[in-house]
Amino acid sequence: MMEYFLFFVGIFLLIQGAKWLVDGSVILAKKLGVSSLVIGLTVVAFGTSLPELFVNIFAAIKGTTDISFGNIIGSNIANILLILGLSAMFSPIKVKRNTIWKEIPFSFLAALIFFVLAHKNIFDGTDGMMYRSDGLVFIGFFIIFLYYVFELAKREPLGQDKLVVAHKHLDLTVLFFIVGGLFALFYGGRWTVQGAVFFAKQVGLSEYIISSTIIAVGTSLPELVTSFIAVRKAESDLAVGNAVGSNIFNIFFIMGLTLIISPAKVPKVMFDFLTLGIATFSLFLFMFIGKKHQLKKWQGCLFVLLSGGKANSSKLCLRFSYLF
């Protein structure tokens, strides 16, 4: 019973810890004179992916590699189908040209590289493992993405002050936010992984299914909140940027770091890898159907329905994927 309690407390701590750390980092960055754009593209984007990061670090240390894969794949699918879907249902999302032609394709590239490296055994008959060298490839692409982000920050001020609110707190409060956030993320990640392993054994489901559904949705809540705030403040392009940026961060940095910590056996979930790629490519195509450069309400509704279908069929998909 205690393991169930710690599991849900862990997810809560992951969400709250990410919020505290982002708040503290934003306040500190503003005190140091860092622009709101750079804060939004780095601190906020990094902060919303912190739950996935800490879950994967503990999963890698414990050797529960299915949780690592399920967390990243499930979170990335949720970011597109669930989070962008719900956001578009609330209000159509206008997307800037730069996001359509650079960031969404880069996110698709991340999903494609993830698929190829995870299934290289199909091409060369290897053992179905991902190694530290694969992790270094991911980190290399992440560095390229960071270079693009900072070049964008120099060229194109987006005015993200609507999302980044300046606070006037004592330095001690800033320290509390940052240190408290790190502690919450540490224990949240630890308890979530422990609870997921116990939960999977008790209900007879694989660790991958638990991590790609319950944990993935839980760790994606910061992205959901950020996207809803963006849409409500008429900064709808940032909703797409947040989700797409988090997907790039999740694969290239978090999965890269996970593999550097510990090589991992790839679970036989080709169906989910394909779902991620198709969802990302569909987001790109939807930008040119009907009113250009906009994710419409009906498209958001379709994404949410597909998300629900994906969640309900997770166990079936896992069994089906063993045929590949």
pLDDT, tens digit, for every residue of 162-174? 444 444 545 677 7
Residues 6+ apart with CB under 8 A from 209: 70, 200, 314, 315, 318
**100-139 pLDDT tens trace:** 888 899 999 999 999 999 988 776 666 688 999 999 999 9
* Total H helices, total E strands in the chain: 19, 4
Q: Residue 311's pLDDT is what? A: 59
- Contacts (Cβ under 8 Å, ≥6 apart) of 129: 263, 264, 265, 266
Neighbour tally for 324: CB within 10 Å: 12
pLDDT at 250 over 90: yes
Q: What is the pLDDT of residue 310?
A: 66
Distance CA 216, CA 78 (A): 7
pLDDT in tens, 212-223: 888 888 888 777
Query: What does each C-alpha distance from 79 to 54, 76, 186, 234 come to in angstroms?
Result: 18, 5, 23, 19
Which residues make Cβ contacts (< 8 Å) with residue 85, sequence separation at least 6? Answer: 300, 301, 302, 303, 304, 306, 307
Backbone angles phi, psi at 130, to 5 degrees: -115, 135
Rounded Cα gap, residues 80 and 247, in angstroms = 9
DSSP state of 35: -
Weakest-pLDDT range from 29-43, 246-260, 264-278? 29-43
pLDDT on residue 314 = 54
Tell me the pLDDT band of 239, cut-offs 50, 70 and 90.
confident
Average of per-residue pLDDT across 6-32: 79
pLDDT at 142: 95
Helix axes 236-249, 132-155, angle to 10 degrees: 150
What would the mean pLDDT of 13-30 be, rounded to a whole number?
Answer: 77
For residues 295 and 84, give the distance between their C-alpha atoms in angstroms, rounded to a whole number.
9
pLDDT, tens digit, 9 for 90 and up, residues 49-84 = 888 888 899 889 888 889 999 999 999 999 999 989
Residue 238 has pLDDT above 90, yes or no: no
Q: What is the pLDDT of residue 105?
A: 93
pLDDT exceeds 80 at position 262: yes
309 versus 192: the higher-pLDDT residue is 192
- Rounded-to-integer distance, Cα 68 and Cα 203, Å: 20
Residue 178 predicted with pLDDT over 70: yes
Q: What is the pLDDT of residue 14?
A: 81
CATH code for 2-321? 1.20.1420.30
231 vs 266 pLDDT, higher one: 266
Q: How do residues 295-323 score in pLDDT, each as one tens digit? A: 889 999 999 888 877 655 555 544 444 44
The whole-number pLDDT of residue 313 equals 57
**What pLDDT band is residue 261 in, cutting at 50, 70 and 90?**
very high
Higher per-residue confidence, 238 vs 270: 270
Per-chain mean pLDDT for the chain: 81
Over pLDDT 70: what percentage of the chain? 81
What's the whole-number mean pLDDT along residues 235-254?
84
